[in-house]
């Protein structure tokens, strides 16, 4: 007779979500809290993944504040660790001003005052895309591959589902 299979627990992807005011201070706070959360997950300050994430979050948050701002509306930062990568999502509420899509980002000319942020994102991200959002708005989703992802996840505190009473 064989033993019954061990009970399976749903896999929980570590995630962090926070809304920020659409101000330069909100953008700066998003970057600082993102790096703090990554450090707590084992992606150490100063590592290649942390440095890439710092630039990506800073650029996307600055774009949300500068180009995606709707008065009285916040922007949202979401970080998660799906299998093999770090996912960064920044959502704002302005739908009529969509950024260029991956593969269509043009480098800024030397005297342009802006236009370098998505060039950096395009260079640092392993994958990225722009998604329309309903209600109106958009989400820029970036993935950065984490070669040591499995060892990173093993160090995270185990999340168990709550025990049922009854």
| Chain mean pLDDT for the chain | 83
Is residue 161's pLDDT more than 60?
no
Better-predicted residue by pLDDT, 122 or 153: 122
Distance CA 36, CA 39 (A): 5
pTM for this predicted structure: 0.79
Find which of 93-107, 111-125, 137-151 is predicted with most confidence, using mean pLDDT. Answer: 137-151
Q: What is the CA radius of gyration of the chain?
A: 18
Q: Which domains does the chain have, with CATH numbers?
A: 15-105+114-155 (3.30.565.10)
Query: Of all residues in the chain, what percent are helix, strand and coil, respectively (each to 5)?
Result: 30, 20, 50
Distance CA 49, CA 67 (A): 26
């Amino acid at each position: 007779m064989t033993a019954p299979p061990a009970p399976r627990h749903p896999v929980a992807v570590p995630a962090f979500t926070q809304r920020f005011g659409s101000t330069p201070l909100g953008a700066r706070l998003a970057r600082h809290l993102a790096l703090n959360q990554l450090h707590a997950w084992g992606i150490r300050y100063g590592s290649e993944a942390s440095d890439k994430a710092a630039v990506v979050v800073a650029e996307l948050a600055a774009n949300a504040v500068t180009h995606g701002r709707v008065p009285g509306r916040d922007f949202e930062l979401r970080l998660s660790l799906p299998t093999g990568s770090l996912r960064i999502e920044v959502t704002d509420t302005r739908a009529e001003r969509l950024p260029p899509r991956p593969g269509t980002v043009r480098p800024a000319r030397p005297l342009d005052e802006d236009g370098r942020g998505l060039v950096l994102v395009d260079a640092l991200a392993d994958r990225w895309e722009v998604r329309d959002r309903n209600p109106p708005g958009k989400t820029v989703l970036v993935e950065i591959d984490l070669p040591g992802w499995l060892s990173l996840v093993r160090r995270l505190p185990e999340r168990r589902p709550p025990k049922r009473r009854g």
